[in-house]
Amino acid sequence: MFINGKWKQAENNSTFDVLNPATGEVITRVANGSAKDISDAIKAADTAFEAWSSKTSYQRSHYLYTAWKLMMDKKEDLARLMTEEQGKPLVAARNEVQYGADFLLWFGEEAKRVYGQTIPSARPDQRFIVLKQPVGVVGAITPWNYPVSMITRKMAPALAAGCTIVLKPAEATPLCAMEMFKIFEEAGIPAGVVNLITTLDPKPVGVQFTSNPVIQKLTFTGSTKVGKMLAKEAAQHMKRVSLELGGHAPFIVYDDADPVHAAKGAVLVKFLNTGQACISPNRIFVPRHMVDDFTKEFSSRVNAMKAGNGMDKGVRIGPLVGPDAVLKVENQVKDALSKGAKLITGGKRLTDGPLEKGYFYAPTVLTRVTRDMLIFREETFGPVAPIIAYDPEDDVIKMANDTAYGLAAYVYTKSTSRAMTAFERLKFGIIGINDINPTSAAAPFGGMKESGMGREGAKEGINEYLETKLGGFSI
């Protein structure tokens, strides 16, 4: 762990294993932080806050720029570590490191543009001035599916705003977090400004982040279940919260779309990170008369994807994160088949040769998916593509909005009018129109409804770490 500028073992010397999900082998052991370590880290962040928030935004920007340069130098090493620890194919890991680094550079620039405002008053003697100031010490909890970029997406804007931070990465991916903190250390960020707690038991971290009076802001990316629980606890102490939670993205193909182009896009985004992404499509809506052509194109592309260890050349499908993830996928597929879905390809664990030791599930395509199936409601977080037929009289946008989630949605059409109507009516925070990658450090990422609150990236992203202070001056 990295606390107050020093690398440390846990106070009670406890450690836990980090596994390679492609081989089931132990990579190494890391510190298993305790409640005392967490409160030490929070204290360090509190002590460091005054000096860090008093630096000019130009100084803070320079640290972020230095960290960005170091990250670019270490791109290949970070990507390899990510593939080993998290499982995604090396090409995807490289993309993620680049995406993660973008936040450091972008928010390094944005640090200089934290503007307040002056507001005219109705009283001749009065002047209003609005200041933007850092919220204070931030507690950050990140997931395993994007183990580098979820760290920078939170830390870059927090540091730019002038906040100090305690971060807890997911149990499955502490090594990527440790490498990122080595970069922050090497960039010369002062002791106590950034602190890392690794632990196998996230509960005491949640308790302290939501109740310790020093923490002013909780930022969380993970499941809706844990996010809701943390938000409830945080409300007791009126902590500010940003939550990036689950999704159940619709992918709507209109009858004027090119089925080949749409199928190509759908495969790319569905199987990104083996389906372990909160923006992964979970319901693919296709006009009934196009289902056969679309499914043929879609499944031929799926069948061409090689599963295996992400380090191996040509691999497109890595392992799932662990045994529970495989069980969840199996359960959803079994449920769908028992209720009338048709299996087009996949539908089983992959256990041939070296795959036996990892957590592999075949990329799977289901058709005849209906609303009574678990997969229509529950986030899958795995490599299963459910295709749903719709008829001309159906209001497909209404069908797409029929979910508690509201993160990402995708639309394929050649009609500008349909595209604009869908963009306006879909109740999702991120809409890709003939586009499967509507994400960037410069663009606001986040969800509506039970997909969370707040936005990451863009000018909205830094606002999450700023308080608004009004000054009324009588002259």
What does the block give as tokens for 417? Answer: 């009018």
What does the block give as tokens for 18? Answer: 């980090």
What is the separation, in whole angstroms, between the first and last Cα of the chain? 52
Cα(295)–Cα(14) distance, integer angstroms? 51
CB of 151 to ligand ADP, least distance (A): 11
Quote the DSSP letter at residue 82.
H
H helical segments located in 278-395: 291-303, 323-338, 374-377
CB of 157 to ligand ADP, least distance (A): 19
| Catalytic-residue membership of 297 | no
Scan for tokens 């270490």, then name that residue: 74
Cα(404)–Cα(381) distance, integer angstroms? 16
CB of 202 to ligand ADP, least distance (A): 3
Quote the DSSP letter at residue 145.
S
Q: Are 4 and 191 a contacting pair, CB within 8 Å?
A: yes
CB of 213 to ligand ADP, least distance (A): 18
CB of 226 to ligand ADP, least distance (A): 4
Which has the closest alpha carbon to 139: 218, 222, 236, 46? 218
Q: Are 213 and 222 a contacting pair, CB within 8 Å?
A: no
Quick one: 20 or 295, whose CB is closer to ligand ADP?
Answer: 20
Cβ neighbours for 292, distance < 8 A, ≥ 6 positions apart: none
Helix pair angle (203-211, 224-236), 10° resolution: 40
CB of 38 to ligand ADP, least distance (A): 11
Q: What does each C-alpha distance from 112 to 59, 60, 116, 440 come to in angstroms?
A: 10, 9, 12, 19
* Given 84, 185, 244, 379, the catalytic residue: 244
Binding site for ligand ADP (CB under 6 A): 141-143, 168, 170-171, 202-203, 205-206, 222-223, 226
Task: Please state whether beta strands 215-221 and 240-244 pair in parallel, antiparallel, or not at all (unpaired).
Answer: parallel
What does the block give as tokens for 412? Answer: 């394929």
CB of 140 to ligand ADP, least distance (A): 10
Cβ neighbours for 247, distance < 8 A, ≥ 6 positions apart: 278, 279, 280, 282, 379, 405, 406, 407, 408, 447, 451
What does the block give as tokens for 193? Answer: 């400004």
* Given 278, 297, 456, 464, the catalytic residue: 278
| Catalytic-residue membership of 176 | no
Task: Supply the residues annotated as catalytic.
Answer: 244, 278
